[in-house]
């Protein structure tokens, strides 16, 4: 068997596995609040800046609008966000946090540190994390460049 076809030699497999396991680490922290990991990501975007068009939220998450819209509808049904038509363009849907959505920020304040500390090990330390972010950002940018 050629080395290039060995599973252990695949960067994609390592990235996929790390992503899947980190997402699983969020589950027990979010499920008590009735949240999924994708919903948490939407909240992170809205906690940075409330009242955003659906298109901007989707762009920030590197997702398609048709992927984000059903997620936002579920969050609206759960009273976490509200959706309204844009003032300038009625075709544009603006998403904002409800009181419940804003309160979740305080309730989930420990989540980033809890998950972040769960990945710390010999090679991933608080000092090496910025470099890891940089490498991942470079990979993401390169893949987006190829996709365009």
Per residue in 21-33, pLDDT tens?
A: 999 999 999 999 9
Domain range 11-116, its CATH number among 3.30.930.10, 3.40.50.180, 1.10.3720.10, 1.10.10.10: 1.10.10.10
Minimum mean pLDDT range among 3-17, 84-98, 110-124: 84-98
Which strand (E) or helix (H) includes residue 83? strand 81-85
Residues 129 and 117: their CA atoms lie apart, in Å, by: 11
Residue 91 has what pLDDT? 79
Residue 90 has what pLDDT? 73
| Burial profile 78-91: b = 16 or more Cβ within 10 angstroms, e = fewer | eebbeeeeeeeeee
Q: Is the pLDDT of residue 134 over 90?
A: yes
How is residue 25 written in tokens? Answer: 């680490």
Residue partners of 77: CB distance under 8 A and separation at least 6: none
Residue 135 has what pLDDT? 97
Q: Is the pLDDT of residue 130 over 80?
A: yes
Query: Mean pLDDT throughout 123-146?
Result: 96
Residues 30 and 81: their CA atoms lie apart, in Å, by: 16
From the CB of residue 36, how many other CB atoms can be counted at a distance below 10 Å?
A: 16
Question: Would you list the domain boundaries of the chain?
Answer: 11-116
Q: Is the pLDDT of residue 89 over 90?
A: no
Residue partners of 33: CB distance under 8 A and separation at least 6: 104, 107, 108
Residue-wise pLDDT for 39-74, tens only, equals 999 999 999 999 999 999 999 999 999 999 999 999
- Write down the pTM of the prediction: 0.93
Average pLDDT of the residues of the chain: 95
Per the model's pLDDT, the better-predicted residue between 86 and 28 turns out to be: 28
């Amino acid at each position: 068997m050629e080395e290039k076809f060995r599973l252990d030699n695949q960067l994609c497999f390592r990235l996929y596995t790390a992503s899947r396991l980190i997402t699983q680490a969020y589950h027990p922290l979010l499920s008590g609040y009735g949240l999924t990991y994708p919903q948490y990501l939407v909240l992170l975007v809205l906690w940075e800046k409330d009242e955003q068009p659906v298109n901007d939220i989707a762009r920030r998450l590197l997702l398609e609008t048709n992927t984000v819209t059903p997620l936002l509808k579920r969050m609206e049904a759960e009273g976490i966000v509200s959706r309204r038509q844009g003032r300038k363009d009625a075709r544009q849907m603006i998403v904002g946090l409800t009181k419940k959505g804003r309160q979740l920020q305080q309730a989930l304040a420990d989540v980033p540190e809890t998950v972040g500390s769960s990945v710390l090990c010999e090679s991933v330390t608080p000092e090496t994390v910025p470099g890891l972010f940089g490498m991942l950002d470079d990979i993401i940018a390169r893949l987006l460049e190829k996709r365009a």
